[in-house]
Chain A
């Protein structure tokens, strides 16, 4: 039954159809894998056995997702179980509704088996800022899986689920997917409804998808993409057929590389990136050097805009209607101050403080106003780039996974992990990461492709080509193959 965990969604639905195995068989294998390996990885904050099992038994549906178990990052609300956002602020909170993306997956026959660990309120790049303990990288459990969707990425990498939803604000699906050796997609801003995704930065947030293959990703995106009347930022543009032409290869593809952005990278990352470009060239793609002058400011712009918007969005956590309420408060103002002081972790506080500062009287124009102007210039850079090329290529992260504890004491150092991923969030364009090999320590590296707005089908076609030429995604991490002792 261990082989079931390697099957793609297409192979699974074919197997169900001809009766080689049933959705119940597959769910049993998944739940056994979670029970065996998650104690040593801690990808899940909450696992739901009963409801999923019932649905599997009743699942007679068609379609690639019928009877398929999946997980969702715990900042995506669901009726099943608690939604904590990895925070004491929401410990014990039970959502009265399913997020639109989860509704759509359930409608397609998907089975939500659990909620994944994350940096608190999606603020972080390592999943070390979870109030409930970090997740470990299945390739080396002394190392981080990345973040903030570290649980989602680890769950897919360790074969605990075939796909998981995560969320992106500055790279929080692509960065952990890269560090865990799996595929991660951030769609175009507005492609997937944000209803039910607990808001961090409203002009940047998007639900993202973690899978092991491009065709699996295409199936999931097809199920959840599309306008939602209850998310006014969702796009009315018709949903593309993401599987159409997925096997057509990369002949004639124009690939842009920003040489400036590669200076200072470790040699192993540079070599890995060059090898990845060679794979595309061998398939008939043409690599072109381009200039994007604003790229170097992306992190600074991101950390002003994201934190400013976060300071507004997290104002709702005040101890009044839901979540943690301090027992110490003497009046209403005190209720706010104490509940928030007690409920939020240090990284969340730091970011709210930065955002509040950037929006405060006397600083607003110099910080937030200026950041938005530079962001607009960045959009212009991307628009001009896509007149010359079809996709932009870069490493996904500067290096492989770092050790637990290595960067958590240095906020700025942690923020610089997002250097390659944050631009796509600022501009709203789609981007994905594919596994591109391993560094000298045997840790996964990722190759990132960014496209113009609504070009997901092209990105998935390129990813499909790349993964079939290289087969890096077929290697299993060590922690997926043994019964793991619980973490201390």
Chain B
């Protein structure tokens, strides 16, 4: 399956990753090679009777909605690229250009 550069750009936009002009063609080649291999799965007959419950971790355990201790604010803020007054600082989201 040959992946075109436009498709790579579409996927990169979905993945929120900026790829350079140099990276794009190599990525198209790499994805094409791997997808060619993966496409063997399209020839497999799916046994629709196979139980989904066979998959690991299928059941979702529940717990009471009671608050418990969490991380200290200072410890979390210590790893923040930019923070102030207990908030993470980011570039402007609304307004401006």
Q: Per-position contact with A for B1-43: 1 when CB-CB < 8 Å, else 0?
A: 0000000100110111111100100010011011101101110
A356-B11, A383-B54 in contact; A350/B31 too (CB < 8 A)? yes
Contact (Cβ within 8 A) B41 A297: yes
**Which residues of chain A are near B92, meaning CB under 8 Å?**
331-332
Judge whether B76 is part of the interface by a CB distance below 8 angstroms. Answer: yes
Residue A321 contacts which of B17, B55, B88 (CB distance < 8 angstroms)? Answer: B88
Give Cα A371–Cα B14 distance, bound, in whole angstroms: 21
Contact (Cβ within 8 A) A190 B57: yes
A329-B91, A335-B91, A374-B44 in contact; A380/B82 too (CB < 8 A)? no
Contact (Cβ within 8 A) B38 A377: no
Contact (Cβ within 8 A) B18 A412: no
**Which residues of chain B are near A334, meaning CB under 8 Å?**
91
**Which residues of chain B are near A379, meaning CB under 8 Å?**
50, 54-55
**Which residues of chain B are near A377, meaning CB under 8 Å?**
46-47, 50
Residue B34 contacts which of A354, A372, A383 (CB distance < 8 angstroms)? Answer: A354
Within 8 A of A (CB), among B42-97: 42, 44, 46-48, 50-52, 54-57, 60-61, 63, 71-72, 75-76, 78-82, 88, 90-93, 96-97
Contact (Cβ within 8 A) B76 A353: no
Contact (Cβ within 8 A) A353 B91: no
- The segment out of A91-99, A150-158, A217-225, A254-262 that lies at the interface is A91-99
Residue B37 contacts which of A333, A366, A376, A412 (CB distance < 8 angstroms)? Answer: A412
Contact (Cβ within 8 A) A233 B57: yes
**Which residues of chain B are near A115, meaning CB under 8 Å?**
none
A233-B57, A411-B33, A411-B34 in contact; A374/B17 too (CB < 8 A)? no
Contact (Cβ within 8 A) B18 A337: yes
Please classify the interface of chain B as helix (H, G, I), strand (E, B), loop, or mixed, using the class held by over half of its residues. loop
- In this complex, which of B8, B35, B61, B88 has the most chain A Cβ atoms within 10 angstroms of its Cβ? B35
Give Cα A335–Cα B81 distance, bound, in whole angstroms: 12
**Which residues of chain B are near A353, meaning CB under 8 Å?**
8, 11-12, 15, 17, 27, 31
Please classify the interface of chain A as helix (H, G, I), strand (E, B), loop, or mixed, using the class held by over half of its residues. helix
Contact (Cβ within 8 A) B78 A428: no
- The segment out of A55-63, A311-319, A457-465 that lies at the interface is A311-319
A232-B61, A350-B31, A427-B56 in contact; A338/B18 too (CB < 8 A)? yes
Task: Looking at the assembled complex, report how far the CB atom of A471 sits from the nearest CB atom of chain B, in whole angstroms.
Answer: 36
Judge whether A265 is part of the interface by a CB distance below 8 angstroms. Answer: no
Give Cα A294–Cα B47 distance, bound, in whole angstroms: 11
**Which residues of chain B are near A203, meaning CB under 8 Å?**
55-57
Give Cα A229–Cα B66 distance, bound, in whole angstroms: 13
Give Cα A190–Cα B44 distance, bound, in whole angstroms: 29
- The segment out of A29-37, A238-246, A299-307, A387-395 that lies at the interface is A299-307
Judge whether A357 is part of the interface by a CB distance below 8 angstroms. Answer: yes
Q: Which residue of B lies closest to A429 (CB)?
A: B56
Contact (Cβ within 8 A) B34 A303: yes
Task: Looking at the assembled complex, report how far the CB atom of A52 sits from the nearest CB atom of chain B, in whole angstroms.
Answer: 22
Contact (Cβ within 8 A) B15 A380: no
Task: Looking at the assembled complex, report how far the CB atom of A351 sits from the nearest CB atom of chain B, in whole angstroms.
Answer: 9
Judge whether A330 is part of the interface by a CB distance below 8 angstroms. Answer: yes
Give Cα A480–Cα B75 distance, bound, in whole angstroms: 39
Task: Looking at the assembled complex, report how far the CB atom of A244 sits from the nearest CB atom of chain B, in whole angstroms.
Answer: 26
A370-B41, A411-B30, A412-B37 in contact; A349/B17 too (CB < 8 A)? yes
Give Cα A321–Cα B33 distance, bound, in whole angstroms: 35
Task: Looking at the assembled complex, report how far the CB atom of B80 sits from the nearest CB atom of chain A, in whole angstroms.
Answer: 6
A297-B41, A300-B40 in contact; A325/B82 too (CB < 8 A)? yes
Judge whether A367 is part of the interface by a CB distance below 8 angstroms. Answer: yes
Q: Which residue of B lies closest to A370 (CB)?
A: B41
Q: Per-position contact with B for A333-346: 1 when CB-CB < 8 Å, else 0?
A: 11111101100101
**Which residues of chain B are near A350, meaning CB under 8 Å?**
27, 30-31, 34
Question: What are 10 residue pairs bridging A and B, where the CB atoms are less than 8 Å apart in the complex?
Answer: A297-B41, A301-B41, A321-B76, A321-B79, A321-B80, A330-B91, A337-B17, A350-B34, A377-B47, A379-B50
Q: Which 10 A-B pairs have the closest CB atoms?
A: A428-B56, A96-B75, A341-B18, A379-B54, A325-B81, A337-B18, A322-B79, A356-B15, A336-B16, A376-B50
Extra A-B contacts (5), CB below 8 Å, given A341-B20, A374-B46: A321-B79, A322-B80, A340-B16, A354-B31, A357-B11
